[in-house]
Structure 1
């Protein structure tokens, strides 16, 4: 027994609504200067964006992700479809379309392409807009080696012992030292001895050491 085909009322209603919306979009695009095949392409573009936004919206809701962008593009496509229905209902003179509407119709292909790309390939667009940043490793400072104190050099010892005063000069210096002790009651110092002998300071040091 052959099965009876029972038409679905919702499906029939969707076909009628789609056909009417399709015709209204075509008439509006044609009135805005898009003649020939271009006027037929506008309804297809609007309906495709509407379907793409709805499918993206459902997938985002099922995944529990934010769906604000999908809602935005769905609203754009729905506004274009409803706007065409209202505009062709006798509220707009299709023989004299305003300039702003011609601009909107002419700019729709670029807007629809952008919306479809963002809806179908969101990850590719985000990757192209924001390239991956490779973290730069932070250089690890090398441990500082403990400071090695510089060796302390002994103070240079004056080479006094290497200098030998002449015996006559030492004898004369001894007389001067005895005379100084007799007059002052103290030993003669090196500076006074140097001044009395008229010799350099190193020689006076040597002579004072031999007198001691």
Structure 2
């Protein structure tokens, strides 16, 4: 169970939260009422007069949320200041500095043009995607990841070509080759060459070379 010290801390924290929440509700209600009164004085009646304070407060909240969690903060600050000026202007206008029974033309123009301004601001804030924490982590990971160096190909040693294995030659074939060579030498007076020996014996070239080496 929590001790008495922690219980006092929790009660103090809840008391601060309650005080801030009550203060925020009072300020929002007063600002809401002032914006409604200015809209009525400017010729907007019925549900339209109640839509004006909702529009101003929503734009203010959207801009503040973008300032806290998103990117494109210059645009967010711009729309936050515009919504805050509209809210403060309504508060000042209803404080007795402006005759709400005889509203000037410029104020009527501002009130009439506010829906288009609020729509533009809300659309720009909604379609400018916020930068999430996951995106920031991915970008940081990509920046911190070292580039993999291309490995140089390892030079391979050039091996000498393997000598073909010796061709086995039967002894009878060697004796026959000697007779053919002697006959050729007797008839022509020159030793027999390998192509002629191959043709006379009818053997493949490797075997003819091996037989010629034995003669």
**Which category of TM-score, normalised to the shorter sequence, fits these structures?**
0.5 to 0.7
Q: How big is the shift at 1:59?
A: 1.5
Q: How big is the shift at 1:66?
A: 4.5
CA RMSD of aligned residues (A): 1.8
SS in 1 for 2:100: coil
SS in 1 for 2:45: coil
Q: Aligned match of 2:53 in 35, 43, 47?
A: 43
Unpaired stretches in structure 1, ≥5 consecutive residues: 124-212
Unpaired stretches in structure 2, ≥5 consecutive residues: 1-10, 130-215
Alignment of 1:35-184 (within 5 A): 35-60=45-70, 65-122=71-128
CA distance in 1, matches of 2:90, 2:74: 24
Q: How big is the shift at 1:122?
A: 2.0
2:27 is matched with 17
Q: How many residues align?
A: 117
SS in 1 for 2:44: coil
Greater Rg by CA: 1
Structure number having the greater helix percentage:
2
SS in 2 for 1:122: coil
Q: TM-score with structure 1 length normalisation? A: 0.53
